[in-house]
Amino acid sequence: MRSPSRAPLVDRLARVAFTFVIMNCSAVAGLVSALMRRKVWR
Amino acid sequence: MRLVFWLSALTVAYVYAGYPVLLAIWARLRPRPAPRAAAAGGALPTISIVIAARNEAARLPARIANLLALDYPAERRQIIVVSDGSTDDTMAVLARYGRQVDAVAVVAAGKAAALNTGIAHATGEILIFADARQMFAPDALKELVAPFADPAIGGVTGTLLLDCEASEVAGRRAGTERRRAADDRRGRGDRGRDRRTVDRDRRRRLESTIGDGVGLYWRYEKQLRRLESAVGSTIGATGAIYALRRALYRPLPADTILDDVLTPMRAVLAGYRVVVSEHAFAFDRAAVDSDAERRRKVRTLAGNVLILGQEPRLLVPFVNPVWLQYVSHKVARLVVPYALLGLFAGSVALASQHVSYTIALLAQCAFYLLGGYGAWLDCRSASAAPGPAADAAQPLAANGVVNA
């Protein structure tokens, strides 16, 4: 069984890059949600 | 276009590298440590643990058992669970605990309103905010209240440990002795079986692409909070485990999303410090898929925007004692996506003018391609996953692996 700590470096970097992109896309979506007062929590 | 390029590049570099370096230097030059142990001879403060829950009947038994088992005098501890319009058996579950748990039912009005109601019932000097899902380490409450020995400290945030980083912290926290003790209690036969279960569960989570990235991001975020705490106050708390002097609590606006940022920042605005307790642990699992993480981040970022309207004083220098940290940590994060766009657009426009812009463009293309590969890895691991497993934090914590 392979864990990320043993995964190739490129895979680990890819995971970080993907998370970074997700976070920044979410920041834009979060701003839109807040401005439109869209319900995002309960 | 050069101005756009360089402004964007400097913004991104400052937010993710410059600010942490600045904090590290600041913390080294002018550290403001918080007490770890309670004042000598001083009794433990009375505490009220407040949980807002909606339809959490399945999780609450384990959660309450965890709270009742914590190392804190029962006569100095109050547990309040507010059922926010639950339609399941939440209230029936809570009724089983009799006087050990103060159960309050309210009509569904959101977490902020539920917290306001719960805190109106609180009698402890210190409020402890918690969620239904995460578990606390046995000594979490004592660790969490210890810094309040300093009257300048108004709030304390604990440390949330994700399953994907549990083994690291477990080792770092010199848990060998505790683990050995826990193992001795369980017996050798159970130990082997428990370990296999834990290892299998942990591996399953470690294979989550987004979980790996989130784990790294969370470690980075926690380091920022530690540094901010070391120079004064941290910006926001960890919703799963934080504490506040009850006298400092002000009812939250109904539309609050991030009570764990607004509440501590109000304490800071009132002139108190909010510090990190690195030894008060709560346990949780990292998001197992990118969609869950995206929803969580949207909620967080939307909450950050709303807070600016709820507490505009946060943006005023000299009124907000941690203005620089707040702007650098919270506000700048909202700006980064647009800086990234500016950086990319600037690179495209200027690529033919100088080799440095060409390199910048190629580097960004490589980074986004790498992100695309990460997305593919995420899809692959999601499709290969055997299905949602039980809450990871529970078996890990219960087996003494992450508590250690």
| 3-state SS track over chain B | CHHHHHHHHHHHHHHHHHHHHHHHHHHHHCCCCCCCCCCCCCCCCCEEEEEEECCCCCCHHHHHHHHHCCCCCHHHEEEEEEEECCCCCHHHHHHCCHHHCEEEEECCCCHHHHHHHHHHCCCCCEEEEECCCCEECCCHHHHHHHHHHCCCEEEEEEEEEEHHHHHHHHHHCCCHHHHHHHHHHHCHHHHHHHHHHHHHHHHHHHCCHHHHHHHHHHHHHHHHHHHHHHHCCCCCCCCCEEEEEHHHCCCCCCCCCCHHHHHHHHHHHCCCEEEEEEEEEEEECCCCCHHHHHHHHHHHHHHHHHHHHHCHHHHCECCECCHHHHHHHHHHHHHHHHHHHHHHHHHHHHCCCCHHHHHHHHHHHHHHHHHHHHHHHHHHHHHHCCCCCCCCHHHHHHCCCCCC
Pairing of strands B241-245, B153-162: antiparallel
Q: Does B260 touch chain A (CB under 8 A)?
A: no
In a domain, B45, yes or no: yes
Q: For A4, which DSSP code?
A: G
pTM of the model: 0.78
pLDDT of residue B218: 77
* Least confident segment among B25-34, B56-65, B126-135: B25-34
CA distance B57 to B18: 45
Tell me the average pLDDT across B202-207.
Answer: 46
Full residue range of the structural domain in which residue B19 is found: 11-327+388-398
Give CA separation, B285 vs B67, B135, B163, B206, B393, in Å. Answer: 19, 11, 5, 10, 6
Count CB atoms within 10 A of the CB of residue B390: 10
The arithmetic mean of pLDDT across residues B363-371, rounded, is: 94
**Cβ separation of A3 and B207 shorter than 8 Å?**
yes
Residues constituting chain A: 42
Answer yes or no: is B131 within a domain. yes
Separation of CA B335 from chain center: 22
Q: Kindly state whether A8 is in contact with chain B, defined as any CB-CB distance less than 8 angstroms.
A: no
**A41 with B293: Cβ contact below 8 A:** no
Q: Is residue B404 part of a domain?
A: no
B22 assigned to some structural domain: yes
A 9-38 residues with CB < 8 A to B? 10-31, 33-35, 37-38
User: To the nearest whole percent, how much of chain B has pLDDT over 70?
Assistant: 79
Q: Is residue B253 part of a domain?
A: yes
pLDDT of residue B209: 54
Q: Do B304 and A30 touch (CB under 8 A)?
A: yes
> Identity (one letter) of the amino acid at B397?
A
**B128, β-bridge pairs:** B49, B243
Cβ contacts of residue A42 below 8 Å, gap of 6+? Answer: B54, B84, B108, B110, B111
Alpha carbon of A38: minimum distance to chain B alpha carbons (Å): 9
Tell me what percent of the residues of chain B surpass a pLDDT of 90: 55
Instruction: Give B400's pLDDT tier (boundaries 50, 70, 90).
Output: very low
Closest-CA residue of B relative to A23 is: B297
A6 contacts chain B (CB < 8 A): no
SS3 A2: coil
For chain B, what is the domain count? 1
Burial B89-104 (b: 16+ CB within 10 A, else e): ebeebbeebeeebbbb
Q: Identify whether B202 is part of a domain.
A: yes
Residue B88 lies in a domain: yes
Confidence check: pLDDT of B185 > 70? no
CB B280 within 8 A of CB B158: yes
What's the pLDDT tens digit per position in B213-261? Answer: 667 777 888 889 899 999 989 988 888 999 999 999 999 988 888 899 9
Q: Looking at the complex, does the CB of residue A2 fall below 8 Å from at least one CB of chain B?
A: yes
Which residues have CB under 8 Å from B138's CB, separation 6+? B69, B70, B71, B403
Q: Is the ipTM of this complex over 0.90?
A: no
Residue B206 scores a pLDDT above 70: no
Nearest to B337 among A2, A28, A37 (CB): A28
Q: Give me the torsion for CA of B118, B124, B125, B129, rounded to 10°.
A: -40
Asked if B49 and B128 touch (Cβ cutoff 8 Å), the reply is yes
The answer to whether B156 and B277 are in contact (CB under 8 A) is yes
A22-42: per-residue pLDDT in tens? 888 888 888 887 777 665 544
**pLDDT over 60 (residue B352):** yes
Q: Rounded distance, CA B215 to CA A35, Å?
A: 29
Rounded Cα–Cα distance for residues B3 and A3 (Å): 43
At B199 the pLDDT is: 45
Give the pLDDT confidence of B290-344 residue by residue, as tens digits.
Answer: 677 777 778 888 888 888 888 899 999 989 999 999 999 989 988 999 999 999 9
- Mean pLDDT, chain B, rounded, equals 82
B374/A15 Cβ within 8 A: yes
The answer to whether residue B335 is domain-embedded is: no
Measure the CA–CA gap between B337 and B328, rounded to whole angstroms.
14
- Out of B84, B217, B298, the one facing A19 most closely (by C-beta) is B217
| CATH number of the domain bearing residue B257 | 3.90.550.10
Residues in chain B: 404
CA distances from B296 to B288, B300, B303 (A): 12, 6, 11
Q: How far apart are CA B376 and CA B209, in angstroms?
A: 9
Decide: B332 and B326 in contact? Cβ < 8 Å: no
The identity of residue B178, as a single letter, is: R
